[in-house]
Amino acid sequence: MEDLALNKHRLSDRIFYALQLAIEQKDAQVADTLVNALELSMTRNSGGGEFVERRDYPPEVESVLKKLRALKNA
C-alpha cells in the first residue's frame, strides 16, 4: 500500500498515508492533527456554509481511526 498511496494525486490519499505512518510510529498527537487535515481534505468543496457531511468513511479510513483510538487508550 505504501507505493499506492504515494502515487495517488489526491491530497486526502497522501494525508491518509501520513496518518497510517504516524499511528505505526505511535505518535498520537501528530495523528490527531492528520485526522483533522484528512477530514478537511475529504469534505472541502462539498457544499455551502450549512453543509453537513453525511457520508461514511471508507472502510480503510474507519480501520485507521480504530487503530488511533486504540493507541490513545493504550
Contact 16, 64 (CB under 8 A): yes
Task: Please report the pLDDT score of residue 56 as a whole number.
Answer: 72
In this structure, how many other beta carbons lie within 10 angstroms of the beta carbon of residue 65?
Answer: 16
Query: For 2-22, how does the pLDDT look when each residue is reduced to its tens digit (9 = 90+)?
Result: 455 555 678 889 999 999 999
Which pTM does this prediction carry? 0.73
- Structural domain containing residue 18: 2-73
Task: Please report the pLDDT score of residue 15 as a whole number.
Answer: 94
Q: What are phi and psi of 51, to 5 degrees?
A: -65, 135
User: Between 43 and 39, where is the model more confident?
Assistant: 39
Number of domains in the chain: 1
14: nearest Cα among 31, 36, 38, 33: 38
